[in-house]
Chains A and B, each alone.
Chain A
Amino acid sequence: MEEVDVEPTITNIPAISDGKHMGFAWGPGDILVYETRYKASGASGSGCSFIHEIRKDEDIYSPILRKLFNESHHIFVGLQTIREDLPSKSKKPQFVSISKNYRSVIRACMEELQQVAVSTKNTELATQCGNQVSILLAIELIWNLCEVLFIDAAPAGSLLLHLLDWVRLHKADVDEKAREVLQSESPAEHRDYWDVVVSYVLQGRLEEVRQMLVKQANLQPAARSMYKQMDTLLSKMPFYNPGGTQTLTEFDVKWRHWHEEVDRCLQDNSFASNRHLELICKILLGDEDTLLDHKELLGTWYHFLVTRLLFCHPTVKLTELHYYAQSCMTMFLDSRSVPEPLDNILLAAFEFDIHQVIKECSIALNNWWFVAHLTDLLDHCKLLQSHNLHFGSNLREFLLLEYASGLFTHHSLWQLAVDYFDHCPEFGRVYLELQIERVPLETERKALKVLRVCEQRQMSEQVRSICKIMAMRALRNNRLGSALSWSIRAKDAAFATLISERFLQDYCAKGTFSDLDLIDNLGPAMLLSDRLTFLGKYREFHKLYGEKRFREAAKLLLSLMTAKIAPQSFWMTLLTDALPLLEQKEVIFTADQTYELMFCLEELTSSLNITASSTDRPMQEEDVEVTKVELLRLALARNLAQAIVKEGTVEI
């Protein structure tokens, strides 16, 4: 057995007392736990009669996060339809835009949760929403970094610009503070004024810095020239323009010149009289100690990393990042403090260890949504090929299956899971087959939706099973018509036979057919089973009889017996039905047909005699039968006589 990555978390089940034995059963997204009847020696007390359901993933039940699942499902399906054979150059912008779509969905969700957390009076709900917001924040932070590093994989120069955007987006509290400062009566004298200025410098937002400094310069006319000099330095700092004509080398030369100029200013003590300006100057030089002195403004080690890169190595390449990341993290975090899971995840990303990122995220987060979607996207970017799991098929499929199985346990989100299973080539179908059969079917509408899913995927076994469930339910509620419709849809001959029998029994008991609208319109479906065919044909006989088309009716009736479509148990009924036809004034059965009828009657009575001798039938019933046979024989003989006479007569 392999070592575990982290110690498993312990969930205490309050109602189960110490020393009791627990049993459990795995479900797709949860575990059922119960107390067993096993009694340890000396243990006493009655058992607890509860079954506990333990869920790992609670997020799926959050109404706001449901929007995340639904919207991302749409993006996911869109991603799967991007054609494989396109050149990777034209695919990359598509992948980046899909990644941005995912992130904007996360952002929208976060904003809504934030709003609920603020507006609700329910403290429990507020904390819950607050927690979810912080989780989503972390998710978005990681996703954004992965987008910059793996999906976009920008070249040197642009890379730093992307990283700057990343930090600015996730350190938005500066803007809030700046707004506060600017709205005060005298911004330049606000106590947070310099914090805001320095924060802007650290994020490389030099335009904002200059605007802020103007306010200060206006207050200090004496120091105006010094402020002017700083302003020039700030305005001259070169930024790489990826769309421009400038090459990276040209930019590098220009940047070095600027860097030397800043250094000169510091050396000749141009700003010595103003500690704030001197500080800005040092930051512009990328002085590590100065930066580390402002940890609280940087907030995180990755902000430190990006600031350091901005002022020391603006042309950093993807492959060099891991070196700076590692050192920045060690420098920034005290030797005492342990890195948080988020730090490790980001570091792994900087080190380009995608699998480590996914692994750490899987451990740290309580739902599969993030890892499943991110892995899928990275897999589409062909970044995960080398890795194979020693279980399941591959990492992408494994995570998607886990996520989709979780969705399937939800009473309402199961429909989303179907598309995820569809895009798992190896095990998706098996999972879907097992899960879809277990969807509870409360209404026919839902059954139809489930059936549609199965039929689209040629899952005939499941189609049969669902139709059978519905047919059984209809039968139990005495809805024979519905039951027959369902079994016809499933092409379930055995069940169709069973229901046809019920129809015939009903007919024998009541003398009329129920559900004529269905039986009259069976059409080709009639051929599903022999008994159903008989039912349909027998009804046709009644229709012909009702329309007084006696000759056709007689022919049909006879053929039902001679072609052995009718079950023998029903022959007596058929022969009795022939009685009124035999008694008509006009001769309907020809001599040949009458012989055949007689033959049928004899065959029936001889077989009845055998059975009659073995069973003790009440005398009265037998009497009725005997009278019926007598009557039939008489009618047949009379009809035969008439027929012979008629057929022998030559009309002149």
Chain B
Amino acid sequence: MESINAKYVSQKISKTKWRPVSHSDLQLPEIFATGSWDNEDNRISIWSIGSNLSTGMEDGFEGDPQLLCEHKHDGDVLDLQFLDQDRIVTASSTGAVTIFRHHQNSQVLAFEFLLVDPEVLLVQTISVSQLWARAHRYPCDNAPCTGVVCSSPEIVTVGEDGRIVVFRADQEGVVRVIENADSSTIHAVTYLRTTEILTVNSIGQLKLWDFRQQSNSPSQILSLSGDRVPLHCVDRHPNQQHIVATGGQDGMLCVWDVRQGNTPFSLMEAHTAEMWEVHFHPTNPDHLFTCSEDGSLLHWETSSHSDMPSFLQGGRNSSMVSRSAMAPAGGKQPLISAWLSGDSSKGRLETTHMLPSQTLSVNSLDVLGPCLVCGTDGEAIFVNRQVPV
């Protein structure tokens, strides 16, 4: 708990996202973006937790997130993704999809009498670089855009109007629209593979869409049996792409294997209210994080079969791998994710609360390396820089 750092920001935070770190150097994440909702004027803001960044602010101790720059955002920010290092895509409640560009110019100012080291003077600005107004709409009204996912330059958005829209960051028009992709609201979207996406909707269904096919119907529908509990979030296992986690209105965490069966592989009671986001840890997927309307943020950890990290297990010797490839389905596979190891996994699944008690909803979380950031309706941002993963 000690390593958790809270900052009150005078706006309800709907989304938080770390800026991706470049793979070339093993940097720690330093910069994140937040979006607000339900304010008279909503904003998208860029923050830094870096200690060596002088922003002219002397208040706040080290590690306190410092506001670098912000920009007005029309409507609630319902989703937010980094397209690349300095472009951010947002989904708005007005149905608009916007790309913002974060400029970080280390300008050497012309004032020669300036006593400050010129390198320190990073000029941080943010501006709108592209806007698709009314990307989601009803015939005579705007429809909120509820989710966005991107793999540069492609951007996929979903909305309350049940449409899936595909954009390209370098093109003005729309690349593809799937009208009536869903009869109810689509709450979230994620990539399964480069050409396949997954959507979750408000009647408890998980739909798989293959963009290689021209048809406007999903290639697969998975659903919770019977009770139609709305699903609010979805995330894919970073290494094993057939494993998908979703969170629903009843706070239940579902793990699905999209290759097998149309019902979830396991259901775990997690929260007492809507689960707003679920994320596998990008580099250590035995760890998973969820946050919820009930004001809690959970860290899930499943221990692997042996003490060896899961990614090594399959490759102990090559003969084993080849045998498994020939083994009939249902046979014991050496490379099986801890998330799909059945009932016994429940005994090994550990959950810990990551926030001090608080009552208002945790709307969003993001985790990258040892750093976690989350934003709440209590108008606070929490940053934890020592997540035990």
Binding site for B on A (CB under 8 A): 63-64, 66-67, 70-71, 73-74, 77-78, 111-112, 115, 411-412, 415-416, 419, 442-446, 448-449, 452, 456, 476-482, 485, 488, 514-518, 521-525
Contacts and interface: CB of A to CB of B under 8 A. Distances in A.
Contacts of B78: 443, 445
A146 B103 CA distance: 51
Contact of B378 (A70, A442, A485): A70
Contact of B59 (A115, A419, A445, A480): A115
Nearest to A76: B359
B269 interface: no
Contact of A481 (B59, B76, B183, B380): B183
Nearest to B38: A412
A77 B358 CA distance: 9
A412 B376 CA distance: 13
A411 B161 contact: no
Contacts of B379: 66-67, 70
Given A412-B38, A444-B202, A477 B184 contact: no
Nearest to A482: B184
- Main SS class of interface, A: helix
B11 interface: yes
Contacts of A412: 11-12, 38-40
Contacts of B360: 73, 415-416
B4 interface: no
A592 B380 CA distance: 71
B273 A443 contact: no
A478 B144 contact: no
Given A67-B10, A523-B227, A523-B228, 4 more contacts: A416-B378, A477-B143, A480-B183, A481-B162
Contact of A485 (B93, B143, B202): B202
Give the 9 A-B residue pairs with the shortest CB-CB distance, closest first. Answer: A481-B183, A515-B183, A477-B138, A67-B8, A63-B10, A518-B183, A523-B226, A66-B10, A443-B144
B65 to A, nearest CB: 14
B60 to A, nearest CB: 10
Nearest to A481: B183
Nearest to B358: A74
B366 interface: no
A482 B160 contact: yes
Contact of B139 (A78, A419, A477, A481): A477
B205 interface: yes
Nearest to A442: B93
30 contacts: A64-B10, A66-B379, A70-B8, A73-B378, A77-B359, A78-B357, A411-B39, A412-B11, A412-B40, A415-B360, A415-B377, A443-B146, A445-B76, A445-B144, A446-B76, A448-B249, A476-B141, A477-B138, A478-B139, A479-B161, A480-B183, A481-B203, A482-B162, A482-B184, A488-B228, A514-B183, A515-B180, A517-B184, A517-B203, A523-B228
Contacts of B205: 517, 521
Contacts of B377: 415, 449
A456 B251 CA distance: 14
Give the secondary structure class of B's interface: loop
B203 A518 contact: yes
A518 B203 CA distance: 7
Give the most central of A112, A419, A515, A522: most B CB within 10 Å: A515
Nearest to A456: B273
A639 B165 CA distance: 51
Nearest to A448: B274
A553 to B, nearest CB: 23
A487 to B, nearest CB: 12
Contacts of A77: 359
A145 to B, nearest CB: 27
Interface residues of B, number: 53
B98 interface: no
Nearest to B180: A514
Contacts of A78: 357
Interface string B220-239: 01010011100000000000
B380 A70 contact: yes
Contacts of A521: 203-205, 223, 228
A355 to B, nearest CB: 31
A70 B12 CA distance: 10
B184 A524 contact: no
Contacts of B277: none
Contact of A482 (B76, B183, B228): B183
B257 interface: no
Given A445-B78, A478-B138, A482-B160, A517 B182 contact: yes
Q: Taking each of A419, A446, A476, A482, which has the highest tally of chain B beta carbons within 10 Å of its own beta carbon?
A: A482
A441 to B, nearest CB: 11
A443 B378 contact: no
The interface centre, meaning the residue of A66, A112, A481, A515 with most chain B CB atoms within 10 A of its CB, is A481
A458 to B, nearest CB: 15
A380 to B, nearest CB: 18
Contacts of A479: 138, 160-162, 183-184
Contacts of A416: 360, 378
Interface string B280-316: 0000000000000100000000000000000000000
Contacts of A71: 8
Contacts of B384: none
B188 to A, nearest CB: 11
A393 B226 CA distance: 47
Interface string B321-365: 000000000000000000000000000000000000111110000
